[in-house]
């Protein structure tokens, strides 16, 4: 009997950068075990810098787009992973079995100044998110997973 994939929502403020990266990494690295979704608590646009640094790592997220969390009503999520404090504080209630996990990452989107410094920040966030995605879904099922990620 084939095991179903886990429905995991990666939630951030604007669904422009971190949650898009997480969705891309989850599809690429864990697509056999995870059905990945991403959304934001406000609607923005996909970050072109996020697209660029993910492409550098061999992950194409150029076809993804920013979605408001309300657009995903009706999907039965196993886990909702908030990637920033704002999303955690403004996370809507999910019915059913969804477990809320908080795993914040730095937001490189608000940096200003030297473009290479900004891009290095995007790469750092990209790599940290990849390292987290590599632990999924097993790390989520641990008895004390909330303590581990809070």
Nearest of 2, 1, 4 to residue 78 by alpha carbon: 4
84 tagged catalytic:
yes
- φ/ψ bin of 131: left (φ > 0), alpha (ψ from -120 to 50), beta (otherwise): alpha
List for the chain the helix, strand, coil content (%; round to 5). 40, 15, 45
8, 72, 84, 130: the active-site residue: 84
17 tagged catalytic:
no
19 close to 91: Cβ distance less than 8 angstroms: no
11, 12, 36, 80: the active-site residue: 12
126 close to 21: Cβ distance less than 8 angstroms: yes
Give the C-alpha separation, 146 to 127, whole Å. 22
Nearest of 72, 71, 68, 64 to residue 47 by alpha carbon: 64
12 tagged catalytic:
yes
43, 91, 100, 106: the active-site residue: 91
Q: Supply the residues annotated as catalytic.
A: 12, 84, 91
């Amino acid at each position: 009997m084939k095991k179903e994939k886990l429905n995991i929502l990666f939630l951030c403020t604007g669904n422009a950068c971190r949650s898009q990266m997480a969705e891309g990494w989850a599809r690429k690295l864990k697509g056999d075990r995870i059905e990945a979704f991403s959304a934001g608590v406000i609607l923005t646009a996909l970050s072109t810098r996020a697209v660029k640094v993910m492409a550098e790592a061999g992950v194409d997220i150029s076809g993804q787009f920013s979605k408001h969390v309300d657009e995903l009503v009706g999907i039965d999520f196993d886990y909702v992973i908030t990637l920033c404090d704002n999303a955690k504080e403004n996370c809507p209630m999910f019915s059913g079995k969804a477990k809320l996990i908080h795993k914040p990452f730095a937001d490189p989107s608000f940096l200003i100044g030297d473009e290479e410094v900004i891009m290095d920040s995007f790469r750092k966030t990209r790599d940290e998110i990849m390292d987290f995605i590599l632990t999924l879904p097993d790390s989520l099922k641990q008895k004390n997973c909330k303590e581990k990620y809070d």
